[in-house]
Amino acid sequence: MSAASIRSLSKSKQTARIVIIGAGTAGIAAATRLLEQGFKNVLLLEAEDRIGGRINTIPFADNVIDLGAQWCHGEVGNVVYERVKDLNLLETTEGHYETFRCVRSNKEVLSDEVADNLKSIAFNSIPERQTELTDYKGSLGDYLTQKYWKELEKLPAINQTIAEEFLENFHKFESSVEAADHLYEVSGRGHLEYWLCEGELLLNWRDKGYKSFLRLLMQSKQNNPDDLGVLKGRVLLNKRIAQINWTGADEVLIRCWNGEVLTADHVICTVSLGVLKEQHSQLFVPALPEAKVRAIKGLKLGTVDKLFLEYALPPLPKDWPGFCCLWLAEDLQELRSSARFWLESVFGFYPVSYQPRLLQGWIIGEHARHMETLTEEQVLEGLLWLFRKFLPFDVPQPVRCLRTQWHANPNFRGSYTFRTTMADELRTGAWDLEAPLLDIGGRPRLQFAGEASHKHYYSTVHGAAETGWREADRLNSYYRSKTAQL
């Protein structure tokens, strides 16, 4: 036996050095679970100057806003919900994404009756565990479009032009749920792989934000907003990793962008699918196996951005809980040939719980990526133009405007993942992303966690947390079986 393998075999939970790349949900979940299991040498390396990753709660207006994850999606089988349900932290979000007005680009507001009919047809066309989808070969876009028009035949009184404008808008709304550029790249069949947790789908964190969940995992001190709890002294910020070299049987070499090299016995990599797509061929030595590269190519991390507008007073009339934008064909054509073309993918503005002076808008896809390259002034100018175009009343000047840039940031390169039709073609999926890389003796050396690696709860915080725990448990069972053998 080589000296290196003897060294590695003599490692125990007390001495094994575990490095976790990324201090987002998956990294924090993995680290806290490893410590619970008795591992002593656990270190998180984070590229940003803050922890949390795609959970980013910041002070804003009357309390806080979430630039990333905002709601706990569902209850049954949702580990986030399970952890906090008795702590009075979550609250149902009242109808913000149901009661909005539908406004056309000629300022015409759809009647409640027409709007309600169109909303209910559209929402009912989304496949939730619909068995007819099991053998469906097309995209979610094909499925949704066919179903929508079929259902609409039952309501001949609804004007086709308006129904079409609404469908266009709904496609964008649903694309934001998926984080897809458009629904024709989302696998229809693959949609069944995503498990919806039963119960309330939009549970908000009151005036505290999603960060509350991470604080709970870390057991942060109540009175200190920056307390890392059990992770104190175990997180290195501003440590962007450039290379993970797991050649040979001995330790893994981790090189930071500034040239510094750290060593570990095990590495758990939690960087986003977007970072993997851009970096994997340089990041890993030796190169990743074929199957994993296929998963990195086949799955997709799309772009969804938020647009926050803060006003001195609540900006919309009382009977306007928010609105979505329906484009008349001729107006859209004109917009497309202007510099404001990106506004086409801003699909609506909605209230924010506990923030009466805010409006939250959403933008998706290619146009979101373009918006990220504009200055904040240009973004604001565009949004005010959009309000003037659509709204039949004046909206005051906001006191502050803020937009997210999830794609432009090299530590994310997007928002959350979905299963593409190409992933079906390549017969790949989260299971290939999850697979750990072991040495000849079956010892995990390089493990993968993060929302994209969850087979059923990808794109969510509860999914990300489970993947962190999964990889901690994998190491724990390795060390348990190892002790049993001795």
Ligand X SMILES: *[C@@H]1O[C@H](CO)[C@@H](O)[C@H](O)[C@H]1NC(C)=O
Contact residues for ligand FAD, defined by CB under 6 A: 21-27, 45-48, 53-55, 68-71, 73, 240-241, 270-272, 275, 304, 306, 404, 406, 411-412, 415-416, 450-451, 459-461, 464
Nearer to ligand X, 248 or 410 (CB): 248
Nearer to ligand FAD, 428 or 459 (CB): 459
Secondary structure of residue 139 in the 3-state scheme? strand
Name 400's bridge partners: 310
Q: CB 137 → ligand FAD: shortest distance, Å?
A: 28
Q: Which does 402 bind (CB under 5 to 8 A by kind): ligand FAD, ligand X, none?
A: none
Q: Which does 23 bind (CB under 5 to 8 A by kind): ligand FAD, ligand X, none?
A: ligand FAD
Encoding tokens for residue 227? 């307390």
Distances 294 to 290, 310, 429, 456 between C-alpha atoms, Å: 6, 43, 8, 19
Q: CB 359 → ligand FAD: shortest distance, Å?
A: 16
Rg (CA), the chain: 24
Q: Which does 253 bind (CB under 5 to 8 A by kind): ligand FAD, ligand X, none?
A: ligand X
Q: CB 98 → ligand X: shortest distance, Å?
A: 25
Task: Print burial letters for 405-428: b (CB count within 10 Å at least 16), e (below 16).
Answer: ebbebebbbbbbbbbbbebbebeb
Write the DSSP assignment of 159-211 as a string of letters.
Answer: -HHHHHHHHHHHHHHHHHHHT-SSGGGBBTGGGGGSPPPSS-S-EE-TTT-TH
Q: Which does 285 bind (CB under 5 to 8 A by kind): ligand FAD, ligand X, none?
A: ligand X
Nearer to ligand FAD, 114 or 299 (CB): 299
Q: Which does 159 bind (CB under 5 to 8 A by kind): ligand FAD, ligand X, none?
A: ligand X
Q: Which does 248 bind (CB under 5 to 8 A by kind): ligand FAD, ligand X, none?
A: ligand X
Yes or no: say if 179 and 418 are a contact pair by the CB < 8 Å rule: yes
Nearer to ligand X, 114 or 271 (CB): 114
Q: CB 247 → ligand X: shortest distance, Å?
A: 4
Q: CB 142 → ligand FAD: shortest distance, Å?
A: 26
Q: CB 352 → ligand X: shortest distance, Å?
A: 32
Cα separation of 81 and 75, whole Å?
Answer: 5
Q: How many CA atoms lie within 13 A of 192 on its CB side?
A: 13
Cα separation of 381 and 385, whole Å?
Answer: 6
The residues binding ligand X (CB under 6 A) are 159, 161-162, 245, 247-248, 253, 285
Backbone angles phi, psi at 438, to 5 degrees: -110, 160
Q: Which does 180 bind (CB under 5 to 8 A by kind): ligand X, ligand FAD, none?
A: none
Q: CB 333 → ligand X: shortest distance, Å?
A: 15
Write the DSSP assignment of 290-329 as a string of letters.
Answer: HHHHHHHHHEEEE-EEEEEEE-SS--S-TT-S-EEEE--H
